[in-house]
Chain A
Amino acid sequence: MTATENDKQAQRKAVMAVLTHSDPSEISRRLAAIMLPAHENLREPENGLVMVRGRIGGDGAAFNLGEATVSRAAVRLSTGEVGFGYTLGRDRDKARMIALCDAMVQSDEFAGLVETKVIAPLRAAISAKRNRKAAEAAATRVDFYTLVRGEG
Chain B
Amino acid sequence: MYVAVKGGERAIENAHRLLAHERRGDRDVPEVSLSQISEQLSLGVDRVMTEGSLYDRELAALAIKQARGDMIEAIFLVRAFRATLPRFGATEPVDTGAMQVRRRISSTFKDIPGGQILGPTFDYTHRLLDPQLAEGFSPETPETSEASLAATPRVTDILGRDGLIEPSPEADAETPVGDLTREPLSFPADRDLRLQNLARADEGFLLALGYSSQRGYGRNHPFAGEIRFGEVEIEFMAEDVGFAVPLGAIAMTECQMVNQFKGSATEAPCFTRGYGLAFGQSERKTMSMALVDRTLRARELGEEVIAPAQDEEFVMSHSDNVQATGFVEHLKLPHYVDFQSELGLLRKLRKEFAEATEAPPMQEAAE
Contacts and interface: CB of A to CB of B under 8 A. Distances in A.
Interface stretch (A32-40, A69-77, A108-116): A69-77
Contact of A84 (B50, B154, B245): B245
A144 B111 contact: yes
A86 to B, nearest CB: 5
Contact of B59 (A69, A135, A141): A69
A139 B143 contact: yes
B154 A62 contact: no
A89 B137 CA distance: 31
B119 A50 contact: no
A147 interface: no
A53 B236 contact: no
Contacts of A90: 56, 58-59
A107 interface: no
B273 A57 contact: yes
B145 interface: yes
B116 A69 contact: no
B216 interface: no
A74 to B, nearest CB: 7
A136 B238 CA distance: 35
B89 A51 contact: yes
Interface size class of A (residues with CB under 8 A): 35 or more
Q: Which of B142, B147, B200 has the most C-beta atoms of chain A within 10 angstroms of its own C-beta?
A: B147
Interface in A35-76: 47-70, 72, 74
A88 B170 CA distance: 28
Contacts of A89: 56, 58, 248
B254 interface: yes
A11 B95 CA distance: 21
Nearest to B118: A140
Contact of A136 (B93, B96, B144): B144
B179 A87 contact: no
